[in-house]
A and B are shown apart, each in its own frame.
Chain A
Amino acid sequence: MTKLQFRVLYRQFLFRMVDLELLSASAQGDISKLLGQFAGLLVFFSFACSFGSLIFDRGKLSPPKLQSALWGMEHFFISTTLLVVGLFSVLSWDSTFPDRRDVLVLAPLPIRARTLFLAKITAAASALSLTVVAMHCFAGLGWPFHFIPKGGNALRSLAAYWITMFAAGAFNFCCVLGVQGLAAQLLPRRYFLRLSAFLQMAAFCWFVSSYLLEPSIVTPSAFAAPQNQRALEWLPSYWFLGFLNQLNGSMHPAFTALTRRAWIGLAVAFSGTAVAYALSYFRTLKKIVEEPDIVAGSGGVHWLPGFGNSLETGVVQFSIRTLARSRQHRVMLAFFLGLGFALLVFVLKNPGPKDASLRAELPLLFTTVAVMCITVVGTRVVFSMPISLRANWIFRVTQVSSVREYMAAIRRPLFVLGVAPVWIVSAALLFSMWPWQLAADHLVVLGLLGAIVAYVCLAAFRKIPFTCSYLPGKSYLHMAFMTAMFLMLFIVRGVVLESQALQNSTLYAIMVAVLAVAALAARWWAVSRANEEDAVVQFEEVQAPILQTLGLNRDGVVTTEAASAHNSHAC
């Protein structure tokens, strides 16, 4: 009975390991396609890295350079594993503990809490292992053979590589679970639930920024340098670099302290997490059932300003409240904001050589423009993910304004939540760092660029934010990735042009005029597409037909399909 229960629960928990509600489980569509795309991205990453192992020529490098290059690659794989597992643990944040639905469904059944606990743990371990395997399935079969030390053997190097990657992943996952477990132990459940959302965001920011900002330390002298000791003490990626080198037998004296930290870290993470998680798990099971059904009204601020007419105000206020209160949507947006934030910190930390011929700081110009683009695109993406899909009937039943008015109301939230915040933060930053005229000049350009990006994003968007069903797997992640890369190159070129224009008033005037015309054209395009004759507010994302008719019927002859469509419309 228990074994059967375990198997059934294990399958259930494994399927729900990644927060499917984040991907809109209630929407029609194929969730597995999207998860497959994520797995595909990891496998693609692994494949691309393994390609490097084929062309890597050890003979061309001097021994010190070879050592640095190999340490650099080892560190890259470890820190990327930490990042991916960290993001995985953020996505599966709530599924590691039983939720109210789990408890209410399972508690009346004759299932031991121990069976539930073991099924949950095993599902988490399986999902984690699959993530690590997907990420290293090609790279992990190529690069370990370059990491073989003198006198070492291939099998040991291969085993050391895989053990290190699994250990690093497990360490990160355990840390996240441990923090959750500790918070659940220390706080009353209601406060824990509130804090949990902030912890999730903090964990996300930590994983992204530590990945992008950690220093590159890959030479023996760098490891010995006093200024790097603090970073080495606090960065687990370097602990596991030592761990890997110890396991494959190429232990360098510089790694001794780091390796010790890795072992201690693993022991603390495993044991501490096991205790905190187990305690909080059994405690949570009881607390969830005892949770009151009615929550007392909070005394917080509920007022929001108007944003135009009543419909526009309604749509914008709904969007603001949804984004502020829906953890799933916040995490999605945090992914984009995290990229922007990391870019900002990276550029501010490494401003690069100043071009004497430029008045403005090129890196800051680039950052503000890139963050504007990332935020607007990210906000637009988040708007397409529904919340409480079945509640959208209220928008349909209350659709008492014209489609044109709805389209205007749909455009507004992107400006309020995407363009305006970045522009305001940039203004505060630039006015505090630059002369006011220079800052104002750039802010005009930034505002126009934000408007252009927003209108382009809105051109085919006919959905009230968060109300239309979502078809997972419809967008092609690899295409989006390549477009983003192309856009970044375009931004770099554009920013160089702007920095020249900021020194020359004629050039600046031309640039602003061109951007203003482009913004107006983008607006005209978005508005005219939104107001096309057949335009309707979209509440249901429809699957593209497998067979696409070309409509190549003879002139004057109506096809059967068209005729039936016409008849049903007439009825």
Chain B
Amino acid sequence: MLELRSVSKCFSSITAVDNVSFSARPGEVTGYLGPNGSGKSTTMKMITGLIEMTSGEILFEGQRIQNDLIGYKQRMGYVPEEPHLYAHLSGQEYLIMVGQLRGLDAKTTARCIDGLLRLFLLHGDRHAPISAYSKGMRQKILLSAALLHNPDLLLLDEPFSGLDVGSALVLRSLIQELAARGKVVLFSSHELETVERVCSRVVILHRGKIVADDSIAHLRTLMELPTLESIFSQLAVEQDTAAISREIADLIRA
């Protein structure tokens, strides 16, 4: 189980994440939602160990991740929000490098890479440089890199970004399949419809603070709202969307 206890992150005087506590259990997909700038990606980066938290603690299977960061990283797979990759390498070379950095067995990794590239329909482009890949292709490389070592914890930050309908459907099933096999999946996205279909429970963040942490079904009943979108709008959207759109249209007309 992944557990965050009173985690905060401050950048100078700005508090990006404020006293956040929640847990993600094996066998279920936990959705992590919030508007732009609410601190989702910052939390994800703290969970991966990319940035240090200002206070609080993160535990994986009861152990503070900082106690054995190397052991923790061996069991964690991460798909970042932005597809930053070494574009001068080919897709295959990149995945081989990730396998080498993780210290995986070369032969097994090669077989796994070959299989992933075939299943993600990238095999024909495996020798092309990543600089020539489309956004969706890059996303598939990120997913492959995150899955290569069969992680126990999967952190997915906007994993559907740029994927075509077919690949998105595959990924949706894959996330559920991995959760069913006992993996901890923390999934952050703005696509509320997908989140509603994939996640069993959601954590909603607003201005760095948690405003909801429950199962979607329970939230619906509790708030007497029909969809996750309406729940999210009520909890995390402060603006009058119709008024803003009218204002924009008026502004450009002037």
Contact = CB atoms under 8 A, between A and B. Distances in A.
Contact of B101 (A294, A295, A300, A394): A394
A372 B132 CA distance: 37
Contact of B127 (A302, A325, A391, A395): A302
B38 to A, nearest CB: 21
Interface in A357-394: 387-388, 390-391, 393-394
Contacts of B89: 318, 321, 325
A310 B103 contact: yes
A313 interface: yes
Contacts of B132: 293-295
Interface size class of A (residues with CB under 8 A): 35 or more
Contact of B88 (A300, A309, A310, A321): A321
Contacts, number: 113
A475 interface: no
B79 to A, nearest CB: 10
B82 interface: yes
B85 interface: yes
Interface string B134-168: 10000000000100000000000000000000000
A302 B94 CA distance: 12
State the main secondary structure of chain B at its contact with A: mixed
Interface string B62-87: 00000001110110101010101111
B93 A302 contact: yes
Contact of A321 (B53, B84, B93): B93
A293 B128 contact: no
Given A318-B97, A321-B93, A297 B103 contact: no
Interface in A272-331: 293-300, 302, 309-311, 313-314, 317-318, 321-322, 325-326
B56 A387 contact: no
Given A293-B132, A298-B128, A571-B55, 20 more contacts: A293-B134, A294-B133, A295-B128, A296-B128, A309-B103, A311-B100, A313-B100, A314-B100, A317-B96, A318-B86, A318-B89, A325-B129, A387-B88, A388-B86, A388-B87, A393-B50, A394-B145, A399-B70, A400-B71, A571-B53
27 contacts: A294-B128, A295-B128, A297-B127, A298-B128, A300-B127, A302-B92, A311-B100, A311-B101, A314-B97, A317-B97, A317-B100, A318-B89, A321-B89, A325-B89, A325-B129, A387-B86, A387-B88, A390-B82, A391-B87, A393-B84, A394-B85, A396-B50, A397-B49, A397-B78, A399-B73, A400-B70, A400-B73
Interface of A: 293-300, 302, 309-311, 313-314, 317-318, 321-322, 325-326, 387-388, 390-391, 393-402, 568, 571
The 7 closest A-B pairs by CB, nearest first: A314-B100, A295-B132, A297-B127, A398-B101, A390-B84, A325-B88, A297-B128
